[in-house]
Amino acid sequence: MSPLDLLNTPIAGRNLIEASAGTGKTFAIAALYLRLVLEQHLPVEQILVVTFTEAATKELRERIRRRLTEAEEAFGQGTSTDPFLMCLIGRITDRSAAGQALTNALRSFDEAAIFTIHGFCQRMLQENPFESGSLYDTELVTDERPILRQIAADYWRTHCYNAPSALARTAIEAGLTPEALLELASRHAGNPLIRILPEPQAMVTPQGGVDCDHAEKWLLALKRGFFDYLAAELPKRKGKKNIRFFQDLLLDLHAAVQAADYSLAPMIREHYRAALIDEFQDTDPIQFRIFDRIYPAGDTTPFFLIGDPKQAIYSFRGADIFAYLDAAKSPLVGHSLGENWRSEPRLIQAVNGLFSSRIAPFGMEEIQFHQVTPAERERELLTLDGREDAAPFRFWFAGRRETGKPINKGDAWQMLTDAVAGEISQLLHDGAEGRLCIGNRPIAPGDIAVLVRANRQARLVQRALSRLGIPSVVCSAGNLFESAEAREVLHFLAAVADPANERQVRAALVTDLLGLSGDDLAAIGENEHGGRQCWRNSAVTMTSGRRAAA
């Protein structure tokens, strides 16, 4: 795998770009897009860009538009401070035609084909209904769980309600409940590439006495039979309601491009004469087979897969690392991005040393760690007492209890959050004294991030910081109306709406918004008049604060 040369790498045929975090992946995509416009003379509606989230789609659209704008200005002026643009100016002889191509690209950029994977599939099915066998008026349902929950409940009711009570109890004790069946359905519903083992078998309910061995076999058959029931029922129920799930978009386009007449794939390839597939580490076999059919190996259409296999090892991403590795084995030209533009040089060196010290550090020999080098650019370095020689990162190890036994999870989290908050407090104290700086300025709360695995853990850290008077915000992908702040506002508004309801008033008073303690509530209970006055003062303070903020 050779370093990617954005200026000179041939852009025909199938290419794979492996890009570690911070190595300029989005910059590379925008540069390739620019070359497709200038060198291949492609209009923006014929350059397909696919990524895997709405947020990434928005970012790519903004970054590509900005790059086209910068290039238009550079070609208009005949010069640029950007080395990449300056090289393009130097090797494109017809500068006037190039400028016009860039102007046209910007004028028609609203038609640029930049989609999420599901958006791309939906567009292809809608624009090619006859070739894909797609219906015009099918409703796209974003939440498939209600219908899957209904199927799971119906299956459970059919096979467990009439079974001997001992079997039903065995299933529940084994965790095979309707909710467990729902989780199975959510993960595997409608995927034709998944083979379910054991093979289909008749469902037999033991009669009479039930021993441990017809019980286990019955449980296995119960679980296996659910997939057959799901495969039969899901299409019928979706057809009856005339609905389609997000996964169906992938499945339907996959079936269409794999059809025997093989007419849709060439049509798509003719329409999109170049393709850049971002975040390809998040692919699965169905997604790869779609693009593999549209842009087959050996075809000269510019086709770039961009991703980082190191990220595909995390199950929470929903990716299939083996699908990525299969794609990497197909005939293609491999490239890598070797400069990190995000991190400090000493941190990059430390990470290189850590992961290069092990063979197959990610558990699979096919996923190698490629060292990256710090990009040459001006950086504001972190210094302590004017020195840059502090350890770039450190490991903390949780200790044991005095008894020698391991710390339980609850105590560990309390200890860890207090330790993190204490460390941050010390960092900010050093910054306030001018000892810890980023460039020439003291470190501030906004310079520090704490990464956790769950929203609940983030709230624990925030509370620990709050106890030390350190301001913080929680960034999460959760629903705003399910947040702790939303619940507190709900308690407050409920009390405002019904101030005679003592229970609601007390709930509002102890929120963080109003900040009363248990002792305060006890005092209020002893002095009814004082309690009403306290609530009135709190409400007035809250309302005044809202008006001031407005």
* Tokens at 180, concatenated: 């467990």
Query: What confidence tier does 301 reach under pLDDT thresholds 50, 70, 90?
Result: very high
Mean pLDDT computed over 8-22: 92
In this predicted structure, what is the pLDDT of residue 91? 93
Which carries the bigger pLDDT value, residue 257 or residue 516? 257
- Domains of the chain, CATH where assigned: 11-121+252-335 (3.40.50.300), 145-241 (no CATH), 338-379 (no CATH), 383-467 (no CATH), 488-549 (no CATH)
Query: What confidence tier does 314 reach under pLDDT thresholds 50, 70, 90?
Result: low
Is 527 a residue whose pLDDT tops 80?
no
Residues 434-449: tens digit of each pLDDT = 999 988 899 999 999 9
Q: Which residue has the tokens 């190595």?
A: 23
Query: What confidence tier does 213 reach under pLDDT thresholds 50, 70, 90?
Result: low
Amino acid at position 411, single letter:
D
Mean pLDDT computed over 505-516: 81
Which carries the bigger pLDDT value, residue 235 or residue 408? 235
In this predicted structure, what is the pLDDT of residue 97? 95
In this predicted structure, what is the pLDDT of residue 547? 42
Lowest mean pLDDT among 174-188, 328-342, 509-523: 509-523
Q: Tell me the percentage of the chain whose pLDDT exceeds 70.
A: 87
* Tokens at 220, concatenated: 């296995």
Residues 253-269: tens digit of each pLDDT = 999 998 877 789 999 99
Which carries the bigger pLDDT value, residue 313 or residue 516? 516
Average pLDDT, the chain: 85
In this predicted structure, what is the pLDDT of residue 96? 93
Is 33 a residue whose pLDDT tops 70?
yes
Mean pLDDT computed over 37-51: 97
Is 546 a residue whose pLDDT tops 60?
no
Cα 381–Cα 385–Cα 386 angle in degrees, nearest 5: 45
Is 207 a residue whose pLDDT tops 60?
no
Kindly state the helix (H) or strand (E) to which residue 56 belongs, with its residue range.
helix 54-77
Residues 444-476: tens digit of each pLDDT = 999 999 998 887 888 899 999 999 999 998 887
In this predicted structure, what is the pLDDT of residue 15? 95
Is 136 a residue whose pLDDT tops 80?
no
Is 549 a residue whose pLDDT tops 50?
no
Mind giving me the DSSP string for 71-127?
HHHHHHHT--S-HHHHHHHHH-S-HHHHHHHHHHHHHTGGG-EEEEHHHHHHHHHHH
* Tokens at 5, concatenated: 């040369």
Lowest mean pLDDT among 136-145, 344-353, 414-423, 491-500: 136-145
Q: Which residue has the tokens 């538009």?
A: 65
Lowest mean pLDDT among 77-81, 106-110, 262-266, 515-519: 515-519
- Within 10 Å of residue 511's Cβ, how many Cβ atoms? 19
* CA pair distance 493, 508, nearest whole angstrom: 8
Residues 61-100: tens digit of each pLDDT = 999 999 999 999 999 999 999 999 999 999 999 999 999 9
Which carries the bigger pLDDT value, residue 317 or residue 481? 481
* CA pair distance 264, 267, nearest whole angstrom: 5
What is the total residue count of the chain? 550
* CA pair distance 454, 307, nearest whole angstrom: 25
In this predicted structure, what is the pLDDT of residue 398? 64
Cα 260–Cα 187–Cα 232 angle in degrees, nearest 5: 55
Q: Which residues pair with 306 in a beta bridge?
A: 17
* CA pair distance 510, 525, nearest whole angstrom: 14
Is 399 a residue whose pLDDT tops 80?
no
In a 3-state reduction of DSSP, which class is residue 442?
strand
- Indicate yes or no: pTM above 0.95: no
Q: Tell me the percentage of the chain whose pLDDT exceeds 90.
A: 39
